[in-house]
Structure 1
Amino acid sequence: MPTVNEQLQAAAISHAVDLQHLSNAEARKIIKLLNSVDSDLRAQLIAAIERLGAESYTARHLNTVLSSVLALNKEVYATIGEALTQSVLDIGHYEVGYQEALFRQVIPEQVIVQVDLASVSASQVREIALARPFQGRLLKEWLTGLEDNRAARIRDGIRMGMVEGQTTDQIVRRVMGIKADGYKDGLLERSRQDIDSMVRTAISHTAQGARDAFYKENDDIVGEVRWLSTLDNRTSAPCRLRDRLVYTNDANHAPVGHKVPWGAGPGRLHWCCRSTSLPIVRSYEELRLAKGLPESTRASMDGQVPQSTTYGAWLKAQSAARQDEVLGPVRGKLFRDGGLSIDSFYNDRGKYLSLDQLRERDAAAFSRAGL
C-alpha cells in the first residue's frame, strides 16, 4: 500500500494538471471579455480618426478625440478586474479546501484524530490573492498597467498611421488587425498575450500561496516541502534545476541537502510558472502518536521523501480516460498507442504542436495508433 507521502505526491501531480486546465479556461474567459468590446472599439476608432483629420492632427487633439475610445478601454479593464479578482479568490478558497480534504483522505483516521489539522482563514486567502505582489506588482497594479499599455498602443498606432499618411481603414487594421489573420497582426494582439500571461501567473501565485499557508498552519504535521516541476519542453531552466529538491516548511524555505535557493517559490518563480509543491508529512515517530496503532498505519507514516515520479511517468500510469482528459483524445491515443512521449507534443521552443504539425513530424505514430 502506498505511504501517505507517496499518495500526496500522486495527488500533487494530478492536481497540478487540473489547475493548468483551470488556468487555461480562466485565461480564455478573460480574453473573451477583452474581445467583447472589439466591435464598439472599431467603430469608435473610425469615428475618432475621421474627427482627427490629417490637417488638424496634434498630440493634444489626439487625446481629445480618443476620449471615448480610452473610456471604453478603461471600462473593459474594470470588468476584467472584477471577474479576475473573484476568480483568484475562488481559486484560493478552493485550494485551501482541497488541501484539507486531501490530508483527511490520505492520512489514516487513527492519526487524524490525534493531530490538530488547521485551516486557512478567508482573510488570509484574500491577502494572498490581492495584497501580495507577484512579479513585482499587486494584481490591481498589473491591471492598471495593462490598461495603460493598451491605450498607449492605440495612440501609437494612430500616430504612426497619421505620420505615414495611411487611410482610416489602414490605421484601424494596423491597430486591431484583420479577421483573416485572427486579428493577430494588429498592435492589440500583444495586449491579449500580456493579459493571458498575467491571468495564468495570478492563478498560480494564488494557488501556491494558499498551499504554502496551509502547510505552514500545519507545520507540526508537514516538516518539509518538495519542489515539483512539470518536465517537458516548456519547462524553464530555473524550474528544471529545482525539480525534486526539498526545502524547510517555514518562512525561509531553506534548502535541505543542497544549495539552490527557493526564490519566489514554485508557481511564482517566473511568468506562467507551472511548478507546484509537495508536502512531506512527518514520520510516525516525529508526530509522537499514541502507542498501539496498527502496523499498517505506522508503516504508512514513514515520513520518507517518496521516489521521484516525473509527469510523463505519472500520466503513463493513469487510465485512458484520464490521459484523454489531460491530452485530448487524439494525443491521448498517440501517447498510448503511437509511441509518442510528452515532449513529442512540443517543438524545441516549447510551443504546443497542432495535430497537423504532429502528423507531418511523425506520420508513423498516427499509423501505429490507427489514426
Structure 2
Amino acid sequence: MNNQELQQAIVDALTQHNSYLQRLSSHAVNEILGQLDGLSLEMLNQLRNLLEDLTEAELTALSGAKYTTPQLKEVQSILDTWQQSLMVSLPEVFVVSAVALAAYEASYIYRLAGKKPPRLNGEKLYKSASKTPYAGGHLLDYIFPGIAADLRKKVEYVLRDGIANGQTNQQIIQRIKGRKALNYQDGLLNQTRNIIDAEVRTARAHISSNTYLETWQALGFEYTKDVATLDFRTTSVCMSRDGRVQKIGAGHQATPYHYRCRTNQVGCDKDGDISGLRPFVASDKRVKDIPKDQRDGIIGQVEANTSYKEWFARQDADHQRSVLGDARYKLYKDGKYSIDKFVDPLSGRKFTIAELREMDEQTFRNVGL
C-alpha cells in the first residue's frame, strides 16, 4: 500500500474506528466508576456510623475542621484511607486497559498500512504517552491523585456545611451519595463520575494519538495533518486547526487539544494532500439521533482535502449562526473573518468579543457592532 492509499484507508477507517474506541472507552470508564462507587459506599457507611456517635461538641469541632478527639481522628482516618484507596485503585484499573489500548492502536495502524506489526510493547507505549502533556498540559499520572484530592476536599466541605446548617446525618450523606429517587444524579459523587468520564476519554484519546504519532514515524512519515470531525459539534480550536500540516518533532502539537477531542492526525507528506473522501454530518446531533428518513443532504462525504473552513462556508446561514453566535456570525459574513480568526493560534483559546474588538476596532465599526 502506498502513502496515498494508506492515508485514504486511515481517513475512512478512523471514523468507524473512533466509534469502536468510544465503546471501549465506555467500558473502561464503567470499570473505574465501579471501583469509585465501591470504595465510596464503604467509606460512607463507616462515616455514617461515626457521625451518629459524635457529641454536639465534636460535631462543632468537625464543622471547624478540628480533629481533636479519638472519634474525630477516626473520621479523619476514614477519609485519609478512602482518598489513598482512590489514588491507588483507580489508576490500577485505568492502566490495565490503557496499556492494552496502546498496543492495539499501534498494531491497528500497521495493519491498515498492510504491514506486519513488529513486536509491540504496550507498557513502553503507555510510558511514552505518560511523559507527554496533552489538552493544555495534563499528564496521565496526575489524573487520579488530583480527582481523589479534590473529591476528598469537597466531601469535607459538605460535612462542615451540613453540620453548620443543622442538617441531619442522613441529609449530609445524601448530599454526598445522592438520592435513590433521582438515581443518585444529584449527589457529589455523580459530579466526580462525570469528571472521570471526561478525563478517561480524553486520556485514552491522548494514548491513541501518541501511539499513532510514533507509528507514523516508524512508517516513514515526517509530517501529520489534522483531520477534525466535519459536524456542528466540533470546537472552535479544532475547526481552526483542521487541515494543518506539521512536521513531526520539536514544536509539533498533538491531539487531543481539549476534553473529548475528536480530531485525528494522519501521517502525510509536506504538501498535506490526502486522496479520497472524508465524511460530514451537517448537524449538531449525533448520527444515531438523526432519523434515517431525514439524513439526505445532512450526512455525506466531501473530497478529503476539503478543510473545515471550506466545508463550513457551504452551510446555510442558520447553521452558521447557530455555531458562531450572532456577533461572530456578523463578523464572519460582513467583516470577512475566517473561522480561524476567532481563535488564538498558539493556545487554541477562543477570543472573547471584547478581545476581538480591541484587535480590530475598525472592522467592528464597519459592520455596526
- SS of 1:37 mapped into structure 2: helix
Between the aligned partners of 2:108 and 2:31, the Cα distance in structure 1 is: 23
Between the aligned partners of 1:238 and 1:63, the Cα distance in structure 2 is: 48
What amino acid does structure 1 have at the position aligned with 2:129?
A
TM-score by length of 2: 0.68
Between the aligned partners of 2:24 and 2:79, the Cα distance in structure 1 is: 32
Whether the aligned pair in 2 keeps the contact of 1:23 and 1:203 (CA below 8 Å) is yes
Determine the structure 2 residue equivalent to 1:296: none
Of 1-10 and 56-65, more deviation after overlay is shown by 1-10
Determine the structure 2 residue equivalent to 1:182: 183
Alpha-carbon offset, residue 235 of structure 1? 1.8
- Closer/same/farther in 2, CA of residues 129 and 224 from structure 1, 3 Å limit: closer
Whether the aligned pair in 2 keeps the contact of 1:96 and 1:214 (CA below 8 Å) is yes
- Closer/same/farther in 2, CA of residues 172 and 101 from structure 1, 3 Å limit: same
Alpha-carbon offset, residue 157 of structure 1? 0.5
1:312 aligns with 2:281: yes
Between the aligned partners of 2:6 and 2:277, the Cα distance in structure 1 is: 15
1:132 aligns with 2:132: yes
- SS of 1:42 mapped into structure 2: helix
1:141-179 CA-partner distances (Å, limit 9, x unpaired): 221111111111111100001111111111111222111
Determine the structure 1 residue equivalent to 2:293: 337
Which of 87, 96, 99 is 1:89 aligned to?
A: 99
Determine the structure 1 residue equivalent to 2:235: 236
TM-score by length of 1: 0.68
Of 62-71 and 6-15, more deviation after overlay is shown by 62-71
Whether the aligned pair in 2 keeps the contact of 1:223 and 1:281 (CA below 8 Å) is yes
Alpha-carbon offset, residue 122 of structure 1? 4.7
Matches within 5 A, 1:278-289: 278-280=266-268
- Closer/same/farther in 2, CA of residues 129 and 158 from structure 1, 3 Å limit: same
RMSD (Å) for aligned C-alpha atoms: 3.1
Determine the structure 2 residue equivalent to 1:205: 206
Alpha-carbon offset, residue 121 of structure 1? 5.0
Alpha-carbon offset, residue 96 of structure 1? 0.8
Alpha-carbon offset, residue 91 of structure 1? 0.7
- Closer/same/farther in 2, CA of residues 34 and 123 from structure 1, 3 Å limit: closer
1:102 aligns with 2:135: no
Alpha-carbon offset, residue 48 of structure 1? 2.6
Between the aligned partners of 2:279 and 2:206, the Cα distance in structure 1 is: 22
- Closer/same/farther in 2, CA of residues 71 and 40 from structure 1, 3 Å limit: same
Alpha-carbon offset, residue 138 of structure 1? 2.9
Of 180-189 and 37-46, more deviation after overlay is shown by 37-46
- Closer/same/farther in 2, CA of residues 3 and 211 from structure 1, 3 Å limit: closer
Between the aligned partners of 2:270 and 2:243, the Cα distance in structure 1 is: 18
- Closer/same/farther in 2, CA of residues 161 and 54 from structure 1, 3 Å limit: farther
- SS of 1:165 mapped into structure 2: coil
Whether the aligned pair in 1 keeps the contact of 2:132 and 2:139 (CA below 8 Å) is yes
Alpha-carbon offset, residue 270 of structure 1? 1.2
- Closer/same/farther in 2, CA of residues 53 and 272 from structure 1, 3 Å limit: farther
Whether the aligned pair in 2 keeps the contact of 1:226 and 1:277 (CA below 8 Å) is yes
- Closer/same/farther in 2, CA of residues 211 and 3 from structure 1, 3 Å limit: closer
Matches within 5 A, 1:209-220: 209-219=210-220
Determine the structure 2 residue equivalent to 1:318: none
Whether the aligned pair in 1 keeps the contact of 2:126 and 2:207 (CA below 8 Å) is no
- SS of 1:183 mapped into structure 2: coil
Determine the structure 1 residue equivalent to 2:366: none
% of aligned pairs identical? 25
1:22-43 CA-partner distances (Å, limit 9, x unpaired): 2222222211221223432331
Unaligned runs of 5+ in 1: 106-111, 254-261, 284-302, 314-325, 343-347, 350-371
Determine the structure 2 residue equivalent to 1:277: 265
Between the aligned partners of 1:202 and 1:164, the Cα distance in structure 2 is: 39
- Closer/same/farther in 2, CA of residues 22 and 231 from structure 1, 3 Å limit: farther
Determine the structure 2 residue equivalent to 1:266: 255
What amino acid does structure 2 have at the position aligned with 1:28?
N
Between the aligned partners of 2:109 and 2:240, the Cα distance in structure 1 is: 26
- Closer/same/farther in 2, CA of residues 34 and 234 from structure 1, 3 Å limit: farther
- SS of 2:201 mapped into structure 1: helix
Between the aligned partners of 1:218 and 1:118, the Cα distance in structure 2 is: 11
